[in-house]
Amino acid sequence: MKNLKFKNVTIYVTGANGEIFEYHHNNEYKNQSKEDIINIFKLEPFHMATYLEDELDKPKAFNTYNWGAPITLCGVASEDIYSGVALVNIHLGGDVRGNYSEPYICDEPEAIFSQMTYLDVELSNGEIFSFDCDNSEGYFDFDTFDAYYIDFDEDITKEQYKELTEKNEL
């Protein structure tokens, strides 16, 4: 489609209190620092182990990498993630088997596990297409382009436009 280009392609992730945060924008990851992740999930430094006395009911270990979540944290949470807290470490990059932060308390473990993602695609003509992710991995299933790697200098193909239009209607 001549002179029609991708203008903005943004992926968002849901954090604590249902707040939406930018996760990826125009080929760049966002909110990846330890401080960003602390903010997204409203984490508090873990200072006193006695805090866990009545908060962890049947604790289960987890690593959100194994859940395919966009942001990786590991720790323990109550069997029922809707009651109690989680004790977590933030993955700081590299191999997910290591390189984690000091411990933090998360009062909303369900936010850590759900990490819903959303995609907005804005075209140069002003059209905006919005998609919910149908999985917890922040992966959007398109055949004609990859939402994480867009060539903003190229015109959108008829196939890309058709796929955006059709999937947006679902």
170 or 58, higher pLDDT: 58
What is the rounded average pLDDT of the residues 94-108?
A: 90
How do the domains of the chain map onto residue ranges? 39-110
- Say which residue, 137 or 86, is predicted with more confidence: 86
> What's the pTM value of the predicted model, to 2 decimals?
0.90
Rounded mean pLDDT, 66-91: 89
Residue 121 main-chain phi, psi, to 5 deg: -120, 120
Q: What is the pLDDT of residue 1?
A: 74
Taking the chain, what is the end-to-end CA distance rounded to the nearest angstrom?
Answer: 23
Give CA–CA dist 130/31, Å, rounded.
21
Average pLDDT, the chain: 91
Burial of 91 (C-beta count, 10 Å sphere; 0-12/13-18/19+): buried
CB 12 within 8 A of CB 20: yes
Average pLDDT over residues 77-101: 88
For the segment 16-45, what is each residue's pLDDT rounded down to a tens digit? 999 999 999 999 999 999 999 999 999 999
Identify whether the C-beta of residue 134 lies closer than 8 Å to the C-beta of residue 141.
Answer: yes
**Distinct helix (H) and strand (E) counts, the chain:** 3, 10
Q: Give the pLDDT of residue 98.
A: 82
pLDDT digit string (tens) for 129-164?
999 986 667 889 999 999 999 999 999 999 999 999
